[in-house]
Structure 1
Amino acid sequence: MLEFQGVPVSEGIALGPCFIVDTEEFVIEQTSSDDAAKELERVQTAREQVAHRLQQQLDASDNEPQGEILRAHLSMLNDPQLATGIETSIQTNRESAEHAVSHNLLSYAEMLEALPDEYLRERAQDLRDLRLQWLAALFGKSELVDVPSGAIVIATELLPSQFLQVKSHGIGGIVTEQGGTTSHVSILARNFGIPMVTGVQTSAFDGAESVAINGQDGRVIVDPDDDTKAQLNQARKTYETMMRQAHENRMLAATTKNGQTIEIAANIGGPDDLEEVLANGADGIGLFRTEFLFMDRSTAPTEDEQYEVYRRVAEAMAGKRVVIRTLDAGADKKVSYLHFDDEENPFLGVRGLRYTLKHQELFQTQLKAVLRAAQYGKISLMFPMVTNVADVEAAIEAVDEARRTLTDEGQAYGSVELGAMIEVPAAALITDLLAEKLDFVSVGTNDLIQYTTASDRMNPAVTAWYEPGHPGLWRLLEQVSQGAHQHGAWVGMCGELAGTLEFVPRLVELGFDELSMSPKRIGLVKTAIRNL
């Protein structure tokens, strides 16, 4: 029996047979072909097979992170520049279909991996993933990975498509050597409730028959003995009891034993998430990521299109608060038809509110749609990437301008709360000044942690420094809470930290009024708070 310490990514305890996934399954020989037409036909047939499977998965999915990944893969599959490169390789260089697909996708992936833009580096992984799917179709393989039920999947790095396939086999858990807590697969694992640990070398599992993982503390045990298995089974029963309690408590108020009540809200990407939000007992929506409305289309949504979506969400929540974040484009959220200047470091560039203030027509369209929808529910408007008081003043003026325009047009509109997303350390330090002009602030911990610790949250090489428990971060959070409450503004949190049980008691102690998270975390967090 051997024990290793990894990084916990997704909660849960699992014990099962060891199954090692080899990401690189295909040997591509640099063979030439004299029949270019035949090779092009093979490429197209394989493309259609992959597209059909991706579309089927997308149509059947009610999971927004999964849908986002599938849409990205479909978009890349149909990219005309990629298609031209493959055609040139076959027609001019006489390459086989397999070689043309493989080397073109790898070339694009390597090019993106060399860029400083984090969003584009993420897309490199998607290209590598798509390459594997396309080659599987060319080689006539219906499944990329065939895993026994209940297995603990071991991989150097599991690709999103592989995750979706192994998940369908009813796997027990996942251990990877690479990948951070905010990688595609980590987010999917949490959304689907599959225990996962990262940061353990695959060589540790050579010859292993069984593996146990603890997604709470990051422990990974190879070939556990009987006593360890008994302890793990008891821990798993305790965890399952906790999950049952979470299900039972999901509709109750998150009130501590001394009477302090915290609003437990949900993060959403659009109306398709509403069923899960309501089924899990959300007290409201603490983050509506409106950028998803702008993606996977060739032009920005019109005012009426946005109005209908916001109205639908407001009506469905029946008087519960809905926090709508204005378009948070830029950095890792690129929208193809919007112009972004080339920046050496987009995460420190023109993104979020900085972008929309520079593009007032786009901003005004969204603000007018939100104001009109506010007649049908309790809507709060939140501005991302606020850095200083001038940002808030400019945003408020933009809202006032939208109100004036609607009045001139004879359009009815409702009242909204105004708030700022606190994700820049400078903003956290002046929360008291911001709160003088706002109704609320909400902390976006994913970016606040990476900006505070100077650690790229998608870079596995600096995972150790991306530290949610860093004392510097918690001093900022205390200052945010005190500064906002000093001026009567309520304080929320909508990053991953809000749904992390380890930190919930500290957030309650700091006086946070609202915590917003993945809908599946709501019952767990409510139970934790009710036990305080």
Structure 2
Amino acid sequence: MEIVRGRSVLKRTAVGRLQYYEKEEPSVVRRQVEDTERELSRYERALEQAEKELEALYERALGEAGADSAAVFMGHRMLLKDEEYRNSVTRAITGERVNAAFAVETVGDELCRLFLEMEDEYLRARAADIRDVSDRLLRILEEEEKGGGRCGRGPALSEPVILAARDLAPSETVLLDKKKILGFVTEQGSANSHTAILARTMEIPALVSVPVAREWDGRLAAIDGEEGILYVDPDPETLERLKEKKARQEEAARLLLEIRDLPDVTRDGTRVELYANIGGPEDVEAVLGSRGAGVGLFRSEFLYLEKETYPTEDELFSAYRQTAERMGGREVVIRTLDIGADKTADYFGIEKEANPAMGFRALRICLKRPEIFHTQLRAIYRASAYGKVSVMFPMVASLWEVEEAKAMALQVREELEREGIPMGHVDLGIMIETPAAAILSGELAEKVDFFSIGTNDLTQYTLAADRQNDRLDDFYDPRHPAVLRLIAYVAENAQKAGIRAGICGELAADPSLTEVFLKMGIRELSVSPSFLLPLRKRIREICLEETENDQGV
């Protein structure tokens, strides 16, 4: 028996035969061409085909993993349209008179090298996206010469297996046949990578940072996601133990469905509002299917990322109205756009920054470009006539930002009233994502109706650890005492001011912290729809009175 440790992506168990997957790299040869117009036409057709493939991947990811996870393919589409990238390939074809495939590979390699040399970790990570987009174009060009083929497909699986690979791209992950993929292990990647996030949302047991061996192909193996261990050729005792663990996990998943219609109440009667995070109207069915109390975070930036230019007021209004109506009176909290950092749209014309996570993003863009903010606020207030709609401002760091945002919201409300457009009541809230906002939460609580604590950004800013940096996995700790103390401080100030405070970051879905948060006074948790039922189960197991008595309170 071979025991190999890795990093767990999902705390699930898988047992089956290993299949080693080696990505087929395109073979590119430099050729001098006389007809550069023909090569330019081939390149343009490849761009069109790649965009179609990415659109299909985005739609599939929406169904498999939701809008948040699908956003990676929106990012790939934007890279595909990047003027610098496209013009560099075109110049190589016409200036050096080389074939399109060689031009794509050369430009892709050069851009990857430039990004890898940058100091900022986020920008270095963009090299992988450039490589993925370039490889897609290369495969399309290669298959065109061969007369068609299997462009854009993932690993071919003939039977249910545990896949072993050096790495899996997000596109390969979302294309995995869920009837035939038992789990996967990869040598590269991190627990916070796009591939890992997709695996979690698709509920595929997986380990990363595993030294994968080609000779494992065809051998029996088991993934223990709870312990982060891969067993190759497990002995009978280990195999039986892991099969029993897998059966227990499957039974637990079945039992979760039995509590779908039960209230989110602790054993001693404390009510908790369990909300869901969504990226668009298409996610509402998953929320309703798990009986979510409402939408705690509508990531409205996805309505911008899927467009090639600014969405109109009516386009935004349509998405917000659909969501509000389908939620049937349940609250829908719409976060104003959080463009910037790892979510960019070329048409915003934002200059490249050395540290985009701490740069021109979110509310800062809205305050500096009021015309964009104005359009979105009008759409939100118009939608409030069709359901319970609230608005939330992201990336707040000071009091004046909130005052300015509220003034613009009031201006929009008065404007719509003059036009005779119907509206409902709209609560105004802010996200607590910066240490500055947490420290100022006492003063901020006097200016808004609610807080929503975004633990992902709050963690990275508190610990000065970029959450996109794979090398900082050991340093990026959402359970760090400093992060938890800030959350407790925010909850305390919210209670003093008589406003509600919830958590909408990834930490909200951690069942080991649910009791901790409830003891802090947190009564609202907003998570991805797939986490609603497990969290409901955890809430119904807790008795706050018992824990207080245990502590002598």
C-alpha distance in 2 between matches for 1:371 and 1:426:
29
Partner of 2:107: 104
Displacement of 1:341 after TM fit? Answer: 4.2
Which ranges in structure 1 are unaligned for 5 or more consecutive residues? none
What's the counterpart of residue 432 of structure 1? 442
1:10 and 1:106, CA in 2 relative to 1: closer, same or farther beyond 3 A? farther
Which deviates the most, 428-437 or 225-234?
428-437
SS of residue paired to 1:254:
coil
Amino acid aligned to 1:22 = E
**Letter matched to residue 328 of structure 2:** A
Matched, 1:131 2:141: no
User: Does the residue aligned with 1:297 lie in a helix, a strand or coil?
Assistant: coil
State the one-letter code of the partner of 2:139. A
| 2:497 aligned partner, one-letter code | H
Shift of 1:32: 4.3
Is the CA contact 1:149–1:172 (under 8 Å) kept in the aligned structure 2?
A: no
Other-structure match for 2:334: 324
Which stretches in structure 2 are left out of the alignment for 5+ residues?
144-148, 543-553
- Give the match for residue 26 of structure 1: 26
**Residue 353 of structure 1 corresponds to which residue in structure 2?**
363
Task: Please say if residues 180 and 459 of structure 1, whose CA atoms lie closer than 8 Å, have aligned partners that are also in contact.
Answer: no
Give the 3 Å change call, closer, same or farther, for CA 66–381 of structure 1 in structure 2. Answer: closer
SS at match of 2:474: helix
Q: Deviations over 1:450-489 (max 9, x none)?
A: 1122211111111111112211111111112111111111
Superposition deviation, residue 42 in structure 1 = 4.9
Q: What is the identity, as a one-letter code, of the residue corresponding to 2:79?
A: M
Q: Structure 1 residue 101: deviation in Å?
A: 2.3
Within 5 Å, which residues of 2 pair with 1:222-241? Answer: 222-241=232-251
Deviation, structure 1 residue 264? 1.2
Residues 1:99 and 1:274: Cα distance change in structure 2 (over 3 Å): same
**CA deviation profile, 1:490-523 (whole Å, cap 9, x unmatched):** 1111111111223223222322111111111111
For 2:235, give the aligned amino acid: D
Matches within 5 A, 1:129-528: 129-140=132-143, 141-142=149-150, 143=153, 145-167=155-177, 170-202=180-212, 209-528=219-538
- Partner AA of 1:316 in structure 2: R
Measured after TM superposition, the shift of residue 260 of structure 1 is 1.2
Alpha-carbon offset, residue 397 of structure 1: 1.9
Distance in structure 1 (CA, Å) of the matches to 2:339 and 2:452: 18
Deviation at 1:315, TM superposition (A): 1.3
Out of 105, 117, 124, the residue aligned to residue 114 of structure 1 is 117
**1:187-210 CA deviation, whole Å, 9 max, x = no partner?**
211221111222223359767823
- When residues 342 and 78 of structure 1 are mapped into structure 2, their CA distance, relative to the original with a 3 A threshold, is closer
Q: Secondary structure of 2:302's match?
A: helix
Residues 144/324 of structure 1: CA separation in 2 closer, same or farther (3 Å cut) = closer
Superposed CA offset, 1:143-184 (max 9, x none): 453234332223333211221233467211122233233321
The alignment's C-alpha RMSD in Å is 2.6
User: 2:48 aligned with 1:68, yes or no?
Assistant: no
Distance 1:156 1:302, change over 3 A: same
Q: Which residue of 2 aligns with 1:7?
A: 7
Deviation at 1:409, TM superposition (A): 2.8
Deviation at 1:350, TM superposition (A): 2.5
Tell me, yes or no, if the aligned pair for 2:154 and 2:176 is still in contact at 8 Å: no
User: Which residue matches 2:545?
Assistant: none
Which sits farther off after the overlay, 498-507 or 120-129?
Answer: 120-129
SS at match of 1:362: helix
Query: Compared with structure 1, are the counterparts of its residues 221 and 420 closer, same or farther at alpha carbon in structure 2 (3 Å cutoff)?
Result: same
Q: What is the alpha-carbon distance in structure 1 between the residues aligned to residue 57 and residue 216 of structure 2?
A: 33
The alignment partner of 1:397 has SS state of helix
User: Contact 2:75/2:343 (CA < 8 Å) preserved in 1?
Assistant: no
CA contact (8 A) 1:129 1:160 kept: no
- For 1:35 and 1:482, the matched residues in 2 are separated by 71
Change (3 A) 1:472 1:2: farther
Aligned counterparts of 2:381 and 2:90: Cα–Cα separation in 1: 49
Secondary structure in 2 aligned to 1:323? strand
Change (3 A) 1:93 1:44: same
Q: Give CA-to-partner distance per residue, 1:362-388, whole Å, 9 cap, x none.
A: 212222221222122212211101112
CA distance in 2, matches of 1:170, 1:182: 24
Q: Deviations over 1:206-241 (max 9, x none)?
A: 678233223333222232211111111111111111
Letter of the 2:376 counterpart: Q
Between the aligned partners of 1:440 and 1:466, the Cα distance in structure 2 is 27
Q: In percent, how many aligned pairs have the same letter?
A: 38
Measured in 1, the distance between the counterparts of 2:336 and 2:154 equals: 39
- Distance between the aligned counterparts of 2:106 and 2:48, measured in 1? 19
Deviates more, 1:231-240 or 1:129-138: 129-138
Q: CA deviation at 1:268?
A: 0.8
Distance verdict in 2 for CA 1:299–1:36, change over 3 Å: closer
Larger CA deviation: 62-71 vs 255-264: 62-71
Comparing 77-86 with 104-113, greater Cα deviation is found at 77-86
Matched positions, count: 532
Q: Measure, in 2, the Cα distance between the counterparts of 1:181 and 1:83.
A: 32
Separation in structure 2 between the aligned mates of residue 191 and residue 46 of structure 1, nearest angstrom: 31
Counterpart amino acid of residue 76 in structure 2: H
Whether the aligned pair in 2 keeps the contact of 1:208 and 1:223 (CA below 8 Å) is no
Paired with 1:155 and 1:171, the residues of 2 have a C-alpha distance of 13
User: Could you tell me how far apart the structure 2 residues matched to 1:134 and 1:303 are?
Assistant: 35
In structure 2, relative to structure 1, the CA distance for the partners of 1:117 and 1:302 (3 Å cut) is: farther
1:271 offset after TM fit, Å? 0.9
- Structure 2 vs 1, CA of residues 212 and 123 (structure 1 numbering), >3 Å: closer, same or farther? same
Task: Quote the offset at 1:529 in angstroms.
Answer: 1.2
Tell me whether 33-42 or 461-470 shows the greater mean CA deviation: 33-42
In structure 1, distance between residues paired with 2:40 and 2:386: 54
- Inter-partner Cα distance in structure 1 for 2:352 and 2:85: 22
> In structure 2, do the counterparts of structure 1 residues 100 and 356 end up closer, same or farther at CA, with 3 Å as the change threshold?
same
SS in 2 for 1:464: coil
Is contact 1:125-1:159 (8 Å) kept?
A: no
Q: Structure 1 pair 250/106, CA: closer, same or farther in 2 (3 Å)?
A: farther
Distance 1:275 1:119, change over 3 A: farther
Deviations 1:61-111 (A, max 9, x none): 533245423333344345554344334333443434432222222222333
Deviates more, 1:438-447 or 1:348-357: 348-357
In structure 1, what is the equivalent of residue 549 of structure 2? Answer: none
Assess, with a 3 A threshold, how the Cα gap between structure 1 residues 58 and 450 changes in structure 2: closer, same or farther: closer
Partner of 2:91 in structure 1? 88
How far apart, CA to CA, are the structure 2 residues paired with 1:179 and 1:5? 14
For residues 64 and 371 of structure 1, do their structure 2 counterparts lie closer, same or farther at Cα, with a shift above 3 Å needed? same
Q: Which amino acid aligns with 1:82?
A: Y
